[in-house]
Amino acid sequence: MLKNFFDKLTFKPDPIRLYSAGITDVGQRRDHNEDNYLIDEKLGLFVVADGMGGHEAGEVASKLAIETIFNHIKNLDNTYKQDSKKNQAKTAELINSLLQDAIEDANNQTHCYNIAKGLSEGQGMGTTITGFLINTPDSPKRKKLYSFNVGDSRTYCFREGKLMQLSTDHSHYQLWLETGKEGPPPKHNIIYKAIGPWRRVVAEQHSFAIKANTLFLLCSDGLCDMLSNKEIRHILQQNRKHTLKEMAQALVDAANEAGGKDNITVVLVKP
């Protein structure tokens, strides 16, 4: 019922899928899918969200976050484009502000739901999120990708046979790696940032120039927990002559063959 309620409040735009493809799969161990993804080539917005909180909660959180971010950016799309044309030097600042505002909007809506349920800070439904907005200025050579993420869903860049992670995992395991690996390693899936459980959240943001023949991968941790970066790179390399849909399916199939312990979502973009 709650899902139907949110369906009435928001909508998901029809993807064009000309230079992108997405797949979400329940995996081998779960009985429902809490992942959601968004493809909107016209807007240049691509997002993957991995919900948490159980049935009728995690899937609602991921869907609500994606649709809130989409609606926020869509409503302000023309405004920031006009402002950036007037002042090219402020383009990055304007887009970063736009994306952070969209993340905060999504967080506020989800957090307010948790508070209304009587849940305390740090509890309730939530979602990780990773995505990017492609800015298309007057000159195609200045086209840039503005990435954002909260939690441990990831964004990768694949070019010339090399795979590079663009996002930063907001997990205690990543902190353990960064601080010298003192003591026993924490579990990989314990995160300290998410949309919903906490009153305030700040997204990790980066910008990248888009080079020719570059493929971008967005995924939930159902993919990268099952497959190493080396294995992901190998699958992309093996399937580089296939369609993006076939490449995405190959990644999902490999994650399922490796155990499929979680929901698996993959979005591939080749702008």
| pLDDT tens digits along 119-131 | 888 889 999 999 9
Token couple for 126 = 């939530």
CA–CA separation, 114 and 119 (whole Å): 6
User: pTM of the predicted model, to two decimals?
Assistant: 0.90
Please tell me the predicted confidence (pLDDT) of residue 238.
97
* pLDDT at 193 exceeding the cut of 80: yes
Q: Which helix (H) or strand (E) holds 39?
A: strand 35-40
Please tell me the predicted confidence (pLDDT) of residue 53.
85
Token couple for 114 = 């948790």
Q: If you classify domain 2-261 with CATH, what class do you get? A: alpha beta
Contact between 227 and 259 under an 8 Å Cβ cutoff? The reply is no
Phi and psi, residue 88, nearest 5°: -60, -30
Contact between 61 and 127 under an 8 Å Cβ cutoff? The reply is yes
Higher-confidence residue: 189 or 262?
Answer: 262
Sign of CA dihedral 45, 152, 194, 53: positive
CA–CA separation, 207 and 145 (whole Å): 6
Q: Could you report the per-residue pLDDT of 102-114, keeping only the tens digit for each?
A: 999 999 999 998 9
Q: Which helix (H) or strand (E) holds 173?
A: helix 172-178
**173-201 average pLDDT score:** 92
User: Chain-centre distance of CA 152, in angstroms?
Assistant: 9
**72-97 average pLDDT score:** 76
CA–CA separation, 25 and 32 (whole Å): 9
CA–CA separation, 188 and 180 (whole Å): 16
Residue 143: band (very low, low, confident or very high) from pLDDT cuts 50, 70, 90? confident
* pLDDT at 209 exceeding the cut of 80: yes
Residue 156: band (very low, low, confident or very high) from pLDDT cuts 50, 70, 90? very high
* pLDDT at 59 exceeding the cut of 90: yes
Please tell me the predicted confidence (pLDDT) of residue 12.
53
| Residues 6+ away with beta carbon under 8 Å from 130 | 47, 48, 147, 148, 149, 150, 151, 153, 154, 155, 167, 218, 219
* pLDDT at 60 exceeding the cut of 70: yes
